[in-house]
Amino acid sequence: MTVSFAAQINSVLAALILLASFGLLVQRRIYGLLHIFAWQGLLLSISAAVVGYSAGLHHLYISAALTLSLKVIALPYILYVLIHRLKIHREVEEVVRIPTTMLIGIALVVFSYHLTAPITELSDLVTRSTLAVALATIMLGLLMMITRKKAVTQIIGFLAMENGLFFAATSATYGMPLVVELGVALDILIAAFIFGIFFFQIRTTFDTLDLKAMERLKEEE
Amino acid sequence: MENVYSALMQALQLTIVVAGAPLLTGWVRTLKCWMQGRRTAGLLQPYRDLARLFSKDIVLAENASWIFRFAPYVVFGATLMAGAVIPLISFDLPLGATADIIALVALFATARFFLALAAMDTGTAFGGMGSSREMTVASLAEPAMLMSIFTVSLASQSTSLSQMAHVITSTPLVLRPSLAFALLAFILIAVAETGRVPVDNPATHLELTMIHEAMILEYSGRHLALIEWAGMMKLLLFSSIGIACFFPWGISGHGDPLMLPPAFVILAAKLALIGIFIVLVETGLAKMRLFRVPEFLGSAFLLATLGMLSFFILE
């Protein structure tokens, strides 16, 4: 496998990751969201492995394996159990209508391309062009957190943002040091547990997972 | 000598478009019957239908104006003109230089515009409803179609279909995410433009769901035959646009008559495969609600735009 072929595969994966981000934005069903999130994690882990193979950096294999076990298996499973226990099967409620969200998303992709264009000229890695996609993934995750009402979908948006950061790290700098990556992975896992506890707390307090209800939390005057 | 060869190619191409279109429709219908466990009417049934309609008299509404009588010829003519531009078996098309992909989309739009006018001309409720629905679908499908084709144009640096197909066959194969996105978007748009399930059902006459059929309810005799024939040609032409933009391998080059028979066989095989694909989709999916169509075409537009963006970002 030559370097340019690896770069081609990586750009196809980048395109698919971007597509998955848009999939998260337009998906209405909550289990569908989980599936797309797991697919995005899988693409991310393949991409890390391809970059690791083409650059001869073996620690990227470890982060690929970590991504595979955490983002494809563990996190979707934890969220699945949570959703099942909380009995949320209804459709996702959005603040902004979905076609509008899609258009905003396209504008964000253009914006992040514009933003990363000068940075990519400084780098000489073969995978540098995917930096724009990584930034766009982060932005789209943020957009998803803003436009959704329910806590669970906001968490998925947050995790999608983390996917974008990870992709930026592998594509722009061939991965972070292993210690950092292990730390982040552990953080994400702990965060998922804490989110779970929060979900139950929010629901017992408000009888709903709609975060708009939190606006009622005011001190009495 | 070269001119004669080109003119011959053009004539051959038009013959394939006009004569082959009912065969493709017949193939799709036959396959569909097999998939659904029904008896088939045979591959040649569309030809018999057309012959029957041509031999019948025309029934005109009393208040029908010249537009109503004029429209079938415009629809057939515009579709035929489009068929002269898209390379089917050879890049040697003298008329190919007259119209690029933008003019091609405009030709289809002209046909649709006159059909919508004619449907409103007689003043029936169904005609107006059909026109309004058709124009809604068209106004959403056309920008997405242009976006998707422009992505291919960017990759091949030309807007002429023959040139685009030629560039794609002559450059070495690389993985291009932009073209994959453009292809996905094109499939969604082609489904909407040719009026297949899940956007429209070509076999229905149910007033709640029909789009294209509602417009041609008032037509009879040879007018109806021309419109039906143009519809079959449109299916063939959209398949050929897809082939020319995304899978052009096998189309014979300039001044290469020996390549023609294999090119013809390859074209037939590709069209047969497309037919199988259409039937699998139509059997597997239900027709979607009319109000979901804008979202369907919106995602086609999104895919086409992503294709164009990934051309700039990743390639």
In chain B, where are the structural domains located? 2-314
CB contact under 8 A, A132 and B313: yes
Least confident of A82-86, B30-34, B264-268: A82-86
Residue with tokens 């050879």: B90
Give A24→chain B minimum CA distance, Å: 13
Q: Is the model's pLDDT at A75 over the cut of 70?
A: yes
What 3-state class would DSSP assign to B90? strand
- Within 8 A of A9 by CB-CB distance, chain B residues are 175
Instruction: Name the pLDDT band for A221 (thresholds 50, 70, 90).
Output: low
pLDDT score for A185 = 84
| A–B CB contacts, 8 A cutoff, strictly below | 58
The residue extents of the domains of chain A are 3-210
**Closest residue on chain B to A23 (Cα):** B299
pLDDT digits (tens, 9 = 90+) for B240-280: 999 999 998 888 777 677 888 888 999 999 999 999 999 99
How many Cβ atoms from other residues are within 10 Å of residue A214's Cβ? 11
Is B302 part of the contact surface with chain A (CB cutoff 8 Å)?
A: yes
- Within 8 A of A133 by CB-CB distance, chain B residues are 310, 313-314
Q: Is the model's pLDDT at B194 over the cut of 80?
A: yes
- Within 8 A of A22 by CB-CB distance, chain B residues are 302, 306
- Within 8 A of A12 by CB-CB distance, chain B residues are 175, 177, 180
DSSP string, B164-187: HHHHHHHSPP---HHHHHHHHHHH
CB contact under 8 A, A11 and B312: no
Task: Indicate the angle between helix axes B177-193 and A3-26, nearest 10 degrees.
Answer: 40
pLDDT score for B170 = 83
pLDDT digits (tens, 9 = 90+) for B55-84: 999 999 888 899 999 999 999 999 999 999
Q: Report in angstroms the alpha-carbon separations of A158 from A138, B47, B217.
A: 9, 59, 53
Is the distance from CB of B145 to CB of B234 less than 8 angstroms?
A: no
Give A8→chain B minimum CA distance, Å: 6
**Closest residue on chain B to A112 (Cα):** B313
Q: Which of B175, B294, B303 sits opposite A12 (nearest CB)?
A: B175
Q: Which residues of chain A approach chain B closer than 8 Å at the C-beta?
A: 8-9, 11-12, 14-16, 18-19, 22, 26, 98-99, 102, 105-106, 109-110, 113, 129-130, 132-133
pLDDT score for B222 = 93
Q: Most confidently modeled of A100-109, A165-174, B93-102?
A: A100-109
Closest CA to B81 of B18, B6, B152: B18
Task: Indicate the angle between helix axes A131-147 and A98-122, nearest 10 degrees.
Answer: 150
Is B188 part of the contact surface with chain A (CB cutoff 8 Å)?
A: no
Give A205→chain B minimum CA distance, Å: 37
Closest CA to B197 of B270, B128, B116, B289: B289
Residue with tokens 């797309």: A36
Closest CA to A171 of A87, A48, A15: A48
CB contact under 8 A, B298 and A99: yes
pLDDT digits (tens, 9 = 90+) for A117-161: 888 778 777 677 788 899 999 999 999 988 888 888 888 999 999
Torsion of CA B126, B41, B12, B167, to 10 degrees: 80
CB contact under 8 A, A99 and B294: yes
Is the distance from CB of A129 to CB of B314 less than 8 angstroms?
A: yes
pLDDT score for B108 = 94
